Structure formats: C-alpha cells, structure tokens
Amino acid sequence: MFEYEACIIGTGRVGLPLGLSLVDVGVKATGVDVDPNLIAAVKEGRMPFHEPGYDELVASGDFVVHDTPEVVSKSAAIIMTVGTPLHNHIETDLSQIQRVLESIKDYIRKDHLIILRSTVAPGTTAYVHKWLERNTPFIVGEDILLSFCPERIAEGVAYKELRTLPQIVGGEDDASRDAAAELFGKLAPEVMKTNFITAELVKLFCNISRYVHFAMANQFALVADNFGANIYETRRLANHNYPRSSLAMPGFTAGTCLRKDFGMINEWNAYPDMMLSAWKMNEYTPAMLVDHLMKRTSIHDCRIAVLGFSFKADTDDIRDSLVPKLHRYIERQLPIEIRISDHNLPDPIHEPSAHKPLKNWPVADALEDIDCVFVATNHTGYGDVLKELGRTRPQAWVADIWNVGGIDQIFYQAGDLVAVEV
Ligand SMILES: NC(=O)c1ccc[n+]([C@@H]2O[C@H](COP(=O)([O-])OP(=O)(O)OC[C@H]3O[C@@H](n4cnc5c(N)ncnc54)[C@H](O)[C@@H]3O)[C@@H](O)[C@H]2O)c1
C-alpha cells in the first residue's frame, strides 16, 4: 500500500545516519530536508558532514532526500528528526517541529505511523497528539499512530550505536507502540516500550545527567586550581581502585544536545537548581581558562593560538561549541594576535556569532613564535603537536583543560612536556 516503509523529515546529523542505517538493514526509506547544500551532497553520493561508516551507503544512492514533503504520503512511517534548540532565553523552540507538521498535514493518510525522534521538552509529544487531532480528520490510536522514539547516539559513532543501543519507544496506545517497536526492532538489538512522558524524560535525563557530571568535574578543576592543587592528580587518586568514585575529566561541555537539554526541563522551574548551576559552571569554563592562565602570565602582549574549534573531539560540528566564547574572552585581553587552528574545519571558519569569518591556520603556522596555547578541543594528534612545541618553544604557556599533553596538568609551559619525556 505504501511505496516506502519510512520517510525521515530532517536529514541532518541524526536523520541522515538513521535513514542510511535503515536502508542498511533492508528498510525502504527516503528523506525530506530543506537545506539545498545537504540535498546536493547526498545526491552526489557524499556525506554532508563527518560521520564515519556511511560513505558507501550514501554513495550507493539508495537513500534519496527530497526537497518537498509530498513523498510522506507514500511512506508508512513518518519520522521527524528536525532541530529543537532553545530560544535565547530558557525556552524550548518548537518552530521546526511546527513547520514540519504544517508542511505534512495535507499528506497524512489513514494508517500512517508518525514518529517524533527529535529531543523534545516534556509534554511535546502530547502537544503533537493534540495538534494532529485538531488539524487532521484522524484520531490517534484509531486512524493514525503516534510514537516518541528518542535518538540517543553520539556524533561520530552513529553507525555502531544505531545497531547496539536499546531503543525506547513511547506511545499512549498499544497499536502505536507496537508499530514503532516493529520498525525500530529492525535496527536496535532491544526495544523498550513506555508512555510519551517517560520516553521524553529518559532522553533528557540521559543527557542532563552527563551535563551535570561534567559540570562537577569542571567545578572540581576550579577548586583544585584555587587551592594550588592539580585536578588530574586528584582525580587519578580519587578514582584509582575505589569503587564509589568516578570523577569525570574536566573539559568544555557543550554541543547542541548537552548544552540545551537542561533548559527543556528548567523552563518549568522558577527556582535555581542543580541543572542551572551545572549550566553556569560549564559556561564558565572558557572564562576560567583565561582567568587562571592570566594568574600565571600576561596574555596581553602575546601571540595566542587556539587549537580546536568544534564542540568535541574529531568532529566538524561547531554548533554550540564553547570555543567561540573562549576566543571572545581572549580577544578582550587585546593580545597581539589570536590564531585559530582546527584541521577538521574549512578556512575560513564561518561562526554565526563572529563579526567576520575567522582565519583557520595550519597548526604548524599557528604555533610559530607563539606565546600561549589554549587547547580548546581534544582532537587526536594534539598531544604530539604540543610535544613538538615543547622542543621548539619551551617557554610557551599552555592551557590544556583536556590533558592532551598527558602530564596531568591544565596550566604548564610547553618545555615541561619535554622534561617529562627525558
Ligand atoms: N546531533 C546529535 O548528536 C543528536 C543526538 C541525539 C539527538 N539529537 C536531537 O536530534 C534532533 C536533530 O538534531 P541534528 O543534530 O540532526 O540537527 P541538524 O540541524 O543536523 O538536522 C536537522 C535537519 O532538519 C532540517 N529541517 C529543518 N526544518 C525542516 C523542515 N521544515 N522540513 C524538513 N527538514 C527540515 C534541517 O535542514 C537539518 O538538516 C534534535 O532534536 C537534537 O537535539 C541530536
């Protein structure tokens, strides 16, 4: 009756890997997006962003992305994976979901299974439920089916995790839950059924607990440095063979998921709480690095390098990265020059909040005659880069929150790395 088994709406970093993985397990799937560059890349058979494991699948041309939504009428399941950011204040921005609903409502047919997969604030699937019954002639659970099936993959390991993570399936009626479970059962090793709100909270709690865990690590790094102690040594001793301690590494905690999801719960809470404090702590880490390096050396009459610009290691995703903020804090100290280098990104880097495109330096050029280096992202290879700097420019100061230098210190001079080697 339907030509496709699944149509993914919003084939970005979540939707495209999902569509390709469904094709990989034999599901006839297609996609819809509004980004012409993304559609062109898929049409040319290449991934529009870095996500290992999908090159052959996208090159096969079996997964087609359409630029208009009519194709949903030919698909048994409609899976929404559009973005769900926060507005500038602590408030969920539902506009992408609302636009999708408007765009597909005339193509929704009896027996359609509609799946919400974007990360959403509690109550959003219930909102979609009511929206569908207000704006289409269908009753959910009788004429059409509706489920919330959260995506829990991490960028960079989507291919593996789509096949190995258990899938949570939220629904308010057996038919919706069963239909969604049958579809995701083709991909996931295990399917767990529940209601809308629990499925929504599972996803948010997974992300927020990581966000708070990392905030605690960042706070401990701040406390340790204030006491003149070394956070990496403290953490190593605390975690070693002690079953009730699992302190995380400090680091920039950001990215589109972790940085926003706490807001989806916090918008309904008027009082300061742990999630808000975690936000404050994680947001403070760029300022902490600048401030605490300045306690050791001036950065005013200096050339500064910033290594890494994406929000996490070995990705080309700069959305919600804390590095632009670090860059602005360094800028405020008016150093002679700031050189940004990230080998995963193009030159120049177009960062939406920057007043001009940012030059992306080759790493060797960025470090020539440098006085201070901020390791902003823990990309593979930076450890060797720093060791080389230790030989050529031992007096250069390094702010290394990720410990890529491997000497268990956040602030040190590059020559210290060579001293450890000898
Ligand atoms: N990126 C991750 O690692 C990750 C992991 C788990 C969950 N999530 C959640 O998944 C959702 C999607 O995130 P993402 O990182 O894939 O975002 P993304 O921006 O990469 O992808 C969203 C896509 O939707 C498209 N889109 C927007 N409006 C549209 C419309 N009206 N019709 C068709 N397409 C439209 C955009 O062009 C874009 O390609 C978010 O809710 C996010 O929180 C993301």
- Summarised one tens digit per residue, pLDDT across range 26-51 is 999 999 999 999 999 999 999 999 99
- β-bridge pairing 303-307 and 167-170: unpaired
pLDDT score at 422: 59
pTM (2 d.p.) = 0.94
Segments of the chain assigned to CATH 3.40.50.720: 4-195, 227-421
Alpha-helical (H) ranges within 227-315 are 231-239, 258-266, 274-294
Domain 4-195: give its CATH architecture: 3-Layer(aba) Sandwich (3.40)
Q: CA nearest 169: which of 129, 230, 125, 127?
A: 125
Superfamily name with CATH number, domain 227-421? NAD(P)-binding Rossmann-like Domain (3.40.50.720)
> Residue of the nearest CA to atom 30 in ligand 1?
100
Angle at 89 between CA 249 and CA 324, to 5 degrees: 50
Cα–ligand 1 centroid distance for 1 (angstroms): 29
Nearest CA to ligand 1 atom 28: 96
Instruction: Say yes or no: CB of residue 340 within 6 Å of ligand 1.
Output: no
- Ligand 1, closest atom to CA 35? 37
pLDDT, tens digit (0-9, with 9 covering 90-100), for 51-98: 999 999 999 999 999 999 999 999 999 999 999 999 988 899 999 999
Q: Strands 397-399 and 411-413, how do they pair? A: antiparallel
Q: Which of 328, 213, 212 is nearest to 279 (CA)?
A: 212
DSSP 23-66: HHTT--EEEE-S-HHHHHHHHTTS-SS--TT-HHHHHTT-S-EE
Place of tokens 């993914």: 8
Question: What pLDDT does 421 receive?
Answer: 67
- Compute the distance from residue 82 Cα to the ligand 1 centre, in Å: 4
Our mutation pick for probing the ligand 1 site, out of 8, 81, 103, counting the most ligand atoms within 8 A of Cβ, is 81
**For tokens 């899938």, what's the residue?**
167
Determine the pLDDT at residue 33: 98
Residue of 129, 77, 76, 123 lying closest to 101 (CA atoms): 129
Q: Which residues of the chain have pLDDT under 70?
A: 421-422
Alpha-carbon distance of 148 to 177, in angstroms, equals: 9
Nearest CA to ligand 1 atom 11: 118
